[in-house]
């Protein structure tokens, strides 16, 4: 069964502080070990001279053990609580999932 990479890019609203940004990602990282099938979470600010980030300043990648685990994560109450923290800070978000060969 393939693992799923769940990748996202954030553009934070003007005026959102570094402390608020760190809180968003810490809150997201805290889902690992709580939501079944969420294996890992990594994040960071954009860091390239390529300049193709289109205004997005931060990104994250999560790994799910299966497409079914990702599907269960989406409506999970803990994920909904995390969205209540993160989404108000965002100007724009892009999320993209892809399956890893299994």
User: Is 21 a domain residue?
Assistant: yes
Q: 35-50 as b/e, with b when 16 or more CB fall inside 10 Å?
A: bebbeebebeebeeee
How far apart CA 68 and CA 31 sit, in angstroms, is 17
88 within domain boundaries: yes
User: Nearest-CA neighbor of 81 among 38, 27, 16?
Assistant: 27
Enumerate residues 6+ apart whose C-beta is below 8 A from 66: 1, 2, 3, 4, 37
Say if 80 falls within a structural domain: yes
pLDDT of 72 strictly over 80: yes
pLDDT at residue 1, as a whole number: 83
Q: Calculate the average pLDDT of the chain.
A: 97
> Has residue 30 been placed in a domain?
yes
Q: What is the mean pLDDT of residues 4-25?
A: 98
Q: Is residue 85 part of a domain?
A: yes
pLDDT at 102: 72
How many domains, in total, are found in the chain? 1
Nearest to 37 by CA among 62, 7, 8: 62
> Residue 13 phi/psi, 5° resolution?
-65, 150
- Which domain covers residue 78, as residue numbers? 14-52+65-92
**Residue 79 domain-assigned?**
yes
Domain annotation covers residue 31 = yes
């Amino acid at each position: 069964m393939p693992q799923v990479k769940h990748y996202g890019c954030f553009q934070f609203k003007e005026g959102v502080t570094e402390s608020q940004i760190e809180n968003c990602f810490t809150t997201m990282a805290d889902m690992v070990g709580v939501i079944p099938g969420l294996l890992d979470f990594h994040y960071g600010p954009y860091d390239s001279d390529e300049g193709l980030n289109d205004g997005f300043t931060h990104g994250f990648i999560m790994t799910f053990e299966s497409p079914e685990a990702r599907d269960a994560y989406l409506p999970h109450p803990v994920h909904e609580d995390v969205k209540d923290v993160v989404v108000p800070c965002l100007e724009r978000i892009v999320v993209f999932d892809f399956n890893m060969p299994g």
